[in-house]
Structure 1
């Protein structure tokens, strides 16, 4: 392969790191791919790191040791996170989003790539310092958000089903009580989906009373695994009693009044 210019190498390194967040990439890999000496690649990476930090695009960390290298940790500035949360509040406070039962229509939000991508970075940034093996979610609107969080953390996404699927093979199923309705519901997970002793975080689009999160915790116990964190896009703080304590959210739902006005606010991340 012909020698590449520094600009070309920097462009390639930036793209590779951005497409592989939280994955350690060795200097040997870049050296062989770009046909450059390790010392030259190291200088290129320093330039990429400085640019990322100056533009608040995240961090490029160097990992020491024989199995070391570099990895990219996606992030955005506090100001940009706050602006995103404010804009999301404005979107969700549209009175036309109220559907029968005082539920808020969010499907278009959860399948908007730009919104979900940024939300995934924000939620993932709260778990970078925790040792995590996988992200868990339930097969519902929260899947795209959970995928983005898993991608940014560089871990596997595990999807819990509401019903058993023959194609999943042997499964573990539990009954749990919905925190909002008090109804008994079912969730199941294929035995092959999760290794025993895994440390997991649960990601969802909307938390009402936390019944689903509590069910996830109980299901993980059946795999001798642990729930080490919870992240949601919207937290219903109007719920009088939550079934789980520790959680991270981007915005909070407070109420819908008699005239259909929706009251949303920023979460404690911005207070």
Structure 2
């Protein structure tokens, strides 16, 4: 089959988008399209400009016999600001208020379109980090973790608060909840994370950061480290926050149950370097 350039560009774009952070040799594309490597190089130059202009990401070319091209997710902040603004409006809906001042978030973390976009934003934020896995705690952070891991092309590691027989041997720790000050337990299957891994921690909601601090302690048991912390929503009204360095998309500044008002604004995503 002889591919026209327009056909190559469409198929090549689709392939790159579905294989982020994967080094793809020019030989692979050359054989795939039955085209000279010089033609493939020209195609990639075209895509590189389009990806950059449209805020899709960047194409990194690695020279040499073992080189190739790698697609890295990078988002133009001007393109996602309207998304964050709309997300703030969605979360500010007073109908989300539950008894005790809690917020109903299941529809948001269960929305694949929203989680895909948030995951893409988090992946873009940490695209230059060396990340081996995305970690979260069950259950509400799972969809967010998968949305992020998809664009980083790494596995998801799920921390649980109770043992599952299907996961085999586990490593467990006790940690102090930042909001309730109670001692709780979290555990992780021994086979789920390799020693020395560099991990991105994500979660749907952060108050004082006790749960995230617990995950950091759990990483120490695997001789692993964290490359960053990303949360969908952070609570602003916290006296003793246990976590200093993190990225948040939305900041919850006030919840008035009596007046049925929820005050939210954008987090530090756009200001945190």
Fold-level match, TM-score > 0.5?
A: yes
Contact 1:233 1:251 in 2 (8 A): yes
Decide whether the 8 Å contact of 1:21 with 1:73 is kept in 2: yes
Deviation at 1:169?
1.1
Matched, 1:122 2:124: no
SS of corresponding position for 1:252: strand
Q: In 2, Cα distance between the equivalents of 1:139 and 1:181?
A: 19
Q: d(CA) in 1 for partners of 2:67 and 2:210?
A: 41
**Could you tell me how far apart the structure 2 residues matched to 1:33 and 1:165 are?**
44
| Deviation (angstroms), 1:133 | 1.3
Q: Give distance in 1, aligned partners of 2:218 and 2:51.
A: 39
Identify the residue that residue 157 of structure 1 maps to in structure 2. Answer: 156
Cα separation, 1, equivalents of 2:147 and 2:20: 11
Using structure 1 for the length normalisation, give the TM-score: 0.96
The equivalent residue for 1:92 is 91
Report how far residue 130 of structure 1 moved: 1.5
Matching residue of 1:39: 38
Deviations 1:30-61 (A, max 9, x none): 11112111111111111111111121211111
CA distance in structure 2 between the partners assigned to 1:84 and 1:41 by the alignment:
35
Q: Is 1:54 aligned to residue 53 of structure 2?
A: yes
Instruction: Give the number of equivalent residue pairs.
Output: 270
Shift of 1:228: 2.5
Q: Give the match's secondary structure for 2:121.
A: helix
Gaps of 5+ in 1: none
* Whole-angstrom CA distance in 2 between matches of 1:69 and 1:88: 38
- Counterpart of 2:269 in structure 1 is 269
1:101 aligns with 2:100: yes
| Structure 1 counterpart SS, 2:264 | strand
Structure 2 CA distance for aligned equivalents of residues 88 and 174 of structure 1: 35
Q: Residue in 1 aligned with 2:206?
A: 207
Task: Look up the SS of the partner of 1:234 in the other structure.
Answer: strand
| Higher alpha-carbon deviation: 216-225 or 234-243 | 234-243
Secondary structure class of the residue paired with 1:125: helix
How far, CA to CA, are the matches of 2:208 and 2:135 in structure 1? 18
Aligned structure 1 segments of 4 or more residues deviating by more than 3 angstroms: none
Q: Normalising by structure 2, report the TM-score.
A: 0.95
Partners in 1 of 2:154 and 2:172 — Cα distance? Answer: 24
Secondary structure, counterpart of 1:65 in structure 2: coil
Q: Which residues of structure 2 form unaligned runs of 5+? A: none
Q: Secondary structure at the match of 2:32?
A: helix
**What's 1:240 paired with?**
239
Alpha-carbon distance between aligned partners in 1 of 2:134 and 2:175, rounded to the nearest angstrom: 20
More divergent stretch after superposition (71-80 vs 91-100): 71-80
Bigger mean CA deviation after superposition, 73-82 or 244-253: 73-82
Q: Distance in 2 between matches of 1:94 and 1:110?
A: 16
Please report the RMSD computed on the Cα atoms of aligned residues, expressed in angstroms.
1.2
Per-residue CA shift, 1:130-150, capped at 9, x if unaligned?
A: 211111111211111111111
Q: Is the 8 A contact 1:123 1:249 kept in 2?
A: no
Q: CA deviation at 1:165?
A: 1.1
Inter-partner Cα distance in structure 2 for 1:107 and 1:99: 12
